[in-house]
Structure 1
Amino acid sequence: MWGDYQAHGWGWMLFGGIHMLLFWLLMVLLILALVKWLKGSSDSEKRDSREALAILDERLARGEIDMETYRKLKQELQQR
């Protein structure tokens, strides 16, 4: 009787330990994903701003907008 109980007890303890490791691994991965997501949002805003300035430069070079409009739009983009 005791031999069967001990065998099952060790099995459940090992199974619980694996679950605890998986739980903490999941928590660490969630925290890392959150940090990456928060950091990535600011990087994408900077990239979007650089792309917008490049488009503005191209429009000025093609003569689609005049210098006054260029300065006004550039100032608005840089304030964001």
Structure 2
Amino acid sequence: MFWYVHGIGGWGWLAMSAGMIFFWAAIIALGVLLYRALARPGGSSDRADDRPLEPAPERILAERFARGDIDEDEYHRRLTVLVKTTGGVPRPGRQ
């Protein structure tokens, strides 16, 4: 009935304890990495929308004009230069 008289000994208990700690650490690390990948504030790099990550130059210029950093003449002059160099037209709502 008691054929297994020699238990696993001290090193066996140590190995099992270390194994259990490593197992749960790996599970927790996997959960944290998965959470960080899915809850990223900027989303993934394969964004469906085409919004730029940086504000448009026209928007920066409009903000400087609104703050009073530049006057109206300078605003229109710089906006004209932006339109000529980028080859586009200023977008409505961005002036």
Aligned to 2:89, which of 36, 55, 72? 72
Q: Normalising by structure 1, what TM-score?
A: 0.52
Which ranges in structure 2 are unaligned for 5 or more consecutive residues? 66-73
Paired residue for 1:2? 6
Percent identity between the two aligned chains: 14
Over aligned residue pairs, what C-alpha RMSD do you find?
A: 3.7
Give structure 1 regions of 4+ aligned residues with deviation exceeding 6 angstroms: none
| Superposition deviation, residue 38 in structure 1 | 5.3
- Measured in 2, the distance between the counterparts of 1:52 and 1:40 equals 24
Letter matched to residue 57 of structure 2: A
Unaligned stretches of 5+ residues in structure 1: none
Return the structure number with greater helix share. Answer: 1
User: Which protein is bigger by CA-based radius of gyration?
Assistant: 2
For residues 65 and 52 of structure 1, the distance between their equivalents in structure 2, rounded to whole angstroms, comes to 9
